[in-house]
Structure 1
């Protein structure tokens, strides 16, 4: 039994160490940040202030991404942060996460024309009914 207890304690210690080294987002109320990761260094640049919600911050990051592309840039993925949450703008849509290195959950999907929408709101036109 001691060996199993030792292994369990080691696993818990490693998990706790991994959690403590996770990069956390700034928690300033209403401030939307653009996140730049250069190797081990992570910089938080203020993109907008007085932003109502994380979805509006994601929209501002998407706007910034599109402006960079129009200027000839090639960055297709952008990271941001809003009130302690990370925002990941990717080709498929937008993901949110508690830490930079941790898990992410799907928040906004891209519509057929590239806009962002809440996944449950997107409605597809029904297939035409077959004639009898």
Structure 2
């Protein structure tokens, strides 16, 4: 086989990989210190609505706290949405029954950040302790 064949094959493979990497995935806004509430489109085809929730938030955990506060307020008003999505400086925030998770995309891998305690509050996973055989033991999320 000739070098020309390998060069053409390499270019073709590069083009296929580049086409697969370019997608219409929604990116989280990167504005510094701004916390957003993300509302997914009902039809699943339209882009989600992204609304400013709070400004001057120093860390992503503060944004998660603002989202949790909004979620609880909606529930007190009679809402039924248990899950909430937000965004902060290029990352998405997902709040659900287990706690808070962060991710770079709406559909990709998520990283666990805060766990729910027995009474529903959010805490750092290592801070949750239970007694086992009379000794406190840190509990990791499920």
Is the pair's TM-score, using the shorter chain for normalization, greater than 0.5?
Answer: yes
Q: 1:6 Cα deviation (Å)?
A: 9.0
* Bigger Rg over Cα: 2
Q: TM-score, normalised by structure 1?
A: 0.83
Q: Which aligned runs of 4 or more in structure 1 are off by greater than 6 angstroms?
A: 4-7
Q: 1:122 Cα deviation (Å)?
A: 1.4
CA RMSD of aligned residues (A): 2.2
Deviations 1:80-127 (A, max 9, x none): 000111000011111101112221111111111111111122111233
The answer to whether residue 104 in structure 2 is matched with residue 98 in structure 1 is: yes
The answer to whether residue 22 in structure 2 is matched with residue 17 in structure 1 is: yes
The answer to whether residue 66 in structure 2 is matched with residue 60 in structure 1 is: yes
State the aligned residue count: 126
Q: 1:13 Cα deviation (Å)?
A: 3.7
Residue aligning to 2:140: none
1:99 and 1:78 mapped to 2: Cα distance?
Answer: 15
Please list every run of 5 or more consecutive structure 1 residues that lacks an aligned counterpart in the other structure.
Answer: none
Please list every run of 5 or more consecutive structure 2 residues that lacks an aligned counterpart in the other structure.
Answer: 136-142
1:7 and 1:103 mapped to 2: Cα distance?
Answer: 29
2:48 and 2:60 mapped to 1: Cα distance?
Answer: 20
Residue aligning to 2:134: 128
Residue aligning to 1:116: 122
2:13 and 2:130 mapped to 1: Cα distance?
Answer: 49
